[in-house]
Structure 1
Amino acid sequence: MYDYFYGQQAELFSFYRVPKVLFTDEKFSNISSDAKLLYGIMLDRMNLSAKNGWVDELGRVYIIFTIEEIKCALGCAEKKAVKLLHELENKCGLIERKRIGLGKPNYIYVKNFVDNSVERQFLNCQKDNSGTVDKTLQELSKSQGNNTDIKDTEYSDTDPILSSDFSGRDVEKDEEFQSYYQYFYEELEMDYLFREFPYDKEVLESILEILVETVCSKRKLIRVASDDKPAEVVRSRLMKLNSEHIRYVLDCFKDNTTKIRNPKQYALAALYNAPVTIDIKIDADVRHDMASGLI
């Protein structure tokens, strides 16, 4: 008999994340729930491919995911694994397979479901759904910071900043910006966060726009915590954030007392590190509660 979850124990585990848009947008209604789950698993493997440098001559990231591996991952028969790949490739275009030949496994290109090449769910999203698209980015106050594992909080004001990528661009008419904006708005459950933290609305709006600017950046390297990291690695990490990560980052901002010279770079580093540092914090909290007899 399995035990119950206590406190924050549920956050100790790793999860596959399937984008909500696959369930909420009717254009994906023609593929099965198992196909959507397989797409989520493929997205997870994309992070490893980016780290390993699995890119083709055009710089496109690919994964290697054989039929046998899919069978093991989903616990299904070969016929079903083949059917699910067919759904993702031929019914909705979320993947593309490239035959390599010579007995080698196919390359699988996992398509970006909010990319310009795919009809997007929120192409005509209304400003009043978010209430922030037409606002300029608000800087975080100096009293707000982060106690996550960031080595240097004294960023130089001359650090490369993402906003330069958007100089001269009308974000209200930028379809890519709008699509990613709405993706994060939905995935992070911003409506709930705004109600939960009414006095931190400007900070939340800033976080949202920093995330969108980062994933829309055309740079090959993105500066995070004084290090230049491959843009695909940074995007992959940020696309996996959820509302719990944002709550954690807000708490860290409020706990910090260190002077911050570059709030945007500081916030980006906090967001990038959140998936790692939140697990450490939750594990420490659970151990403390267990030792104190609270669990």
Structure 2
Amino acid sequence: MDKKMNFKYFYGTEADQFSFYRIPKALFTNDCFKDLSCDAKILYGLMLDRMSLSIKNQWFDEENRAYIYFSIEDIMELLNCGRNKAVKSLQELDDEKGIGLIEKRRQGFGKVTIIYVKSFVQEECEEQKKEKSKMVKFINQTSVEEEETEEVYISNFKKSQKQTSRSPENKLQEVYISNSNNTNINNTNLSENKSNHIVSADGIGSEEDEMETLHAYQSLIKDNLDYDSLLVSHPHDKNQIDEIVDLIVETVMCKSDKVLIASNWYSGALVRGKFMKLDYSHVEYVLHCLEGNTSK
């Protein structure tokens, strides 16, 4: 680069006002993707971004699978590269010569090839599915039947016993967080909008420190779940994704010794440890379950 340019610093939350391409963190951290070139990983992120246009334009096939149009010329322009490199990057991703993150379908002579962008989450063995199912039970507790729908009680570290204004739209089932004597807390004065009730766990620390800790946990949990990729893959489920994130954050911050879930008591430390291990695939599993329940 011949000329050095002067750029300004970001201050506060200024970066949030811009649009960004999102590349799944798993492409850089999962061993199965280590042989993919950076260009191929960037291209996959660009294709994921193009999926939002497909959803907007209702580009679905007969099996309701979304597809995109992405020409070699598009790749050359966006990656600022020549044709050979564009073709090579595409081949790294396809199911014929590459890893299989995309699938190309030719529609006939003179017609544009369509591309299916596949999920980067791998199929799991039965043992992994069983373990995931056990972990997801802590957050995926929902039902379309009114009698099965319960409140969510989370023990937090705030001194205040004021009710929050947040109202879970997906009606996550009740999670009771108890203190050390196994007594359910703050189960009175329920509101009709099924809000969370937040009560003090130990009353230690200033409100400023508590908010700083809260934001740190929110950032960590979103990083663990690959939050940005979830929003790309499930653009219509943002509210549910945010509710799941909130539930995980509140639970890992809870300092209670015992947690009552589905009539069973669990160690608070065990639950917090399980929640800290939740990742993208767990939340996606929950979203699929919620979608299945609402479609019944």
Length-normalised TM-score, structure 1: 0.50
1:87-236 → structure 2 map (5 Å cutoff): 87-89=92-94, 90-114=97-121, 116=123, 123=128, 133-135=136-138, 137=141, 139=152, 143-146=163-166, 185-188=224-227, 194=249, 198-199=253-254, 212-219=285-292
Local SS of the residue matching 1:57: coil
Comparing both structures, which one devotes a greater share of its residues to helix? 1
Amino acid at match of 2:44: Y
Structure 1: 5+ residue stretches without partners: 147-152, 164-181, 223-295
Residue 15 in 1 paired to residue 15 in 2?
no
Q: CA deviation at 1:47?
A: 1.6
Residue 2 in 1 paired to residue 7 in 2?
yes
Local SS of the residue matching 1:91: coil
Q: Percent identity?
A: 39
Number of residue pairs aligned between Structure 1 and Structure 2: 186
For 2:68 and 2:106, the matched residues in 1 are separated by 13
Asked whether the 8 Å contact 2:69–2:113 carries over to 1, the reply is yes
**Do the aligned partners of residues 39 and 66 (structure 1) sit closer, same or farther apart at CA in structure 2, a change above 3 Å counting?**
same
Q: Which residue of 2 is the match for residue 50 of structure 1? A: 55
Asked whether the 8 Å contact 2:225–2:283 carries over to 1, the reply is no
Q: Which residue of 2 is the match for residue 59 of structure 1? A: 64
1:155-208 deviation line (CA, Å, top 9, x unaligned)? 9xxx98688xxxxxxxxxxxxxxxxxx998431498xx8599825999x96x99
For 2:70 and 2:105, the matched residues in 1 are separated by 12
For 1:219 and 1:126, the matched residues in 2 are separated by 20
Q: Which residue of 1 is the match for residue 34 of structure 2? A: 29
For 2:222 and 2:114, the matched residues in 1 are separated by 27
**Do the aligned partners of residues 140 and 62 (structure 1) sit closer, same or farther apart at CA in structure 2, a change above 3 Å counting?**
farther
Asked whether the 8 Å contact 1:63–1:108 carries over to 2, the reply is yes
Q: CA deviation at 1:216?
A: 4.3
Give the aligned CA root-mean-square deviation in angstroms.
Answer: 4.5
Q: Which residue of 1 is the match for residue 194 of structure 2? A: none
Amino acid at match of 1:186: L
Structure of greater Rg: 2
For 1:125 and 1:60, the matched residues in 2 are separated by 27
Asked whether the 8 Å contact 1:162–1:214 carries over to 2, the reply is no
Q: CA deviation at 1:214?
A: 2.1
Q: Which residue of 1 is the match for residue 145 of structure 2? A: none
